[in-house]
Amino acid sequence: MINQLIECVPNISEGRRPEVVSACVEAVASVEGVKVLHFTSDYDHNRTVITFVGEPERVVEAAVRLCKKAGELIDLTRHTGEHPRMGAVDVCPFIPVKNVTAEEIVEIAVTAGKRIYEEAGIPVYLYEKAASAPHRVNLADVRRGQFEGLPEKTKLPEWQPDFGNGYHPTAGITIVGAREFLIAFNIELDTNDVEIAKKIAKTIRFSSGGYPCVKALGLMLHETDTAQVSINFTDYKTTSLYTVVDKVREEAEKYGTTVKCTELIGLSPMKALIDSAAHYLKIRDFDYDNQVFENHLL
């Protein structure tokens, strides 16, 4: 039997009432085999992010229970907060962790969306890799108009929910999707010329002809007087860390500078780092699934 693991990172529209946050986290944790890694509430955003992992079926069950519970306890007609939101469970992405293909994670998200409508009674939009049309891929587009805009938005033929009709009167619409682990990674240059960082960012980012699944900006770090290329890898399996770091090194040299150091913000999946190790150590025929000891424990 292959042991499959996925992650789910729902955002719920509640970050002020601890008893509501607890009830929602408990709904997730009530599913056997699901492990809540952490949850973090933001008062100003009035929003909580919950991170949990487990086998696909268990994780989907936990997401459904969360939507039921949040639907009971969160009333968006009374919700205020700085972060845009459309549902009691606002956005609910599923992310592959182990032995789950790109196709499978989409199927998992679609199954979850269907069940959320059928069992919690909350209509669902599918986004990112699970999107049913190109105009629904981008989260900001799907969420535009927020909860308050739903009466108008759901009248438009191009904005009918993927599951259900209209919207839930207090819980709105939940936006369910499949995506890869996002890696936030910065590269500091040995220069204070921000123009160089901007030019390099332009070279590597997809939107101006660079690498797929790479977003990048050139920034100035005033505190240390350093130019930085700030990068998001939205799919490290498509474009790897080392590909971009090597390219930035090469470009920096053209501009007469070098890479001083890099910085990983938050978490990275181990595979993204180990792929780089295998590249730089030049390991021939490296078998990630079998040769990394910890892969036998997960």
Does residue 285 touch a copy of itself according to CB under 8 A?
A: yes
Interatomic CA distance for residues 127 and 162, integer angstroms:
10
Cα–Cα separations (whole angstroms), residue 237 to 111, 128, 138, 179, 216: 24, 16, 20, 12, 17
**Candidate list 38, 83, 135, 222, residue with the active-site label:** 83
- Piece of 42-50, 145-153, 213-221, 254-262 that binds a copy of itself (CB under 8 A): 254-262
- Of 82 and 263, nearer to a copy of itself (C-beta) is 263
Extract the tokens encoding 197: 């960082």
Taking CB under 8 A as the rule, which mask of x and - marks residues 19-58 in contact with a copy of itself? ----------------x-x---------------x-----
Tell me the two tokens of residue 285.
Answer: 């025929």
Show the site string, 176-205: x = touches a copy of itself by CB under 8 A, - = not: -----x------x-----------------
Q: Does residue number 2 form part of the binding site for a copy of itself (CB under 8 A)?
A: no
> Burial level of 224, CB count in 10 A (0-12/13-18/19+)?
exposed
Stretch touching a copy of itself by CB under 8 A, among 107-115, 147-155, 208-216, 274-282? 274-282
Structure tokens at 156: 């438009």
Instruction: Please state, as a whole number, how many other Cβ atoms lie within 10 Å of the Cβ of residue 285.
Output: 6
Residue ranges in 203-242 that form contacts with a copy of itself under rule CB under 8 A: 241-242
135: annotated active-site residue:
no
Q: Does 292 bind a copy of itself (CB under 8 A)?
A: yes
Count the Cβ atoms, other than its own, within 10 Å of residue 106: 20
Indicate the residue among 102 and 264 with the shorter CB distance to a copy of itself: 264
Non-local CB neighbours of 152 within 8 Å, separated by 6+ positions:
145
Q: What are the φ and ψ backbone dihedral angles of 17, each rounded to 5 degrees? A: -95, 100
C-alpha–C-alpha distance, residues 65 and 25, integer Å = 10
CB of 33 to a copy of itself, least distance (A): 12
Please give the positions annotated as active site.
83
User: Where along the sequence are the contacts to a copy of itself (CB under 8 A)?
Assistant: 5, 35, 37, 53, 97, 181, 188, 241-242, 245, 259-264, 266-270, 273-274, 276-278, 280-286, 290-298
